[in-house]
Amino acid sequence: MPRYFFDADNGSCVRDEVGMTFIDDNSARVEAIHRAALFASNADNLEAPGAIVITVRDEADARVLTVRLVFQIERG
């Protein structure tokens, strides 16, 4: 099974050096969505406007897909 790497960036990038194996790109996409949702589930991570970006790479270091979750605060 192919190995995928999930880099996370919410203002500072954390590069995944270990990765996980999945049967296909779609399974890796589901994992990337799960990681973005997990980040957003912690209210402390949403104190200021911004985004969490999960970039999925394959074993050849090619970008497979990007999940971008944007949070915005509007008052008044």
Please tell me the predicted confidence (pLDDT) of residue 43.
81
User: Considering the entire predicted model, what is its pTM?
Assistant: 0.88
55's tokens? 């970039």
Cβ proximity of 66 and 7 under 8 Å:
no
Q: What are phi and psi of 9, to 5 degrees?
A: -140, 120
Please tell me the predicted confidence (pLDDT) of residue 40.
86
Please tell me the predicted confidence (pLDDT) of residue 3.
98
Could you report the per-residue pLDDT of 25-70, keeping only the tens digit for each? Answer: 999 999 999 999 998 888 887 777 788 999 999 999 999 999 999 9
CA dist., res. 9 & res. 41, Å (int): 16
Domain segments of the chain as ranges? 3-71
Nearest in space to 71 (alpha carbons), one of 45, 50, 42, 43: 50
Nearest in space to 10 (alpha carbons), one of 34, 46, 64, 41: 46
Could you report the per-residue pLDDT of 8-22, keeping only the tens digit for each? Answer: 998 889 999 999 999
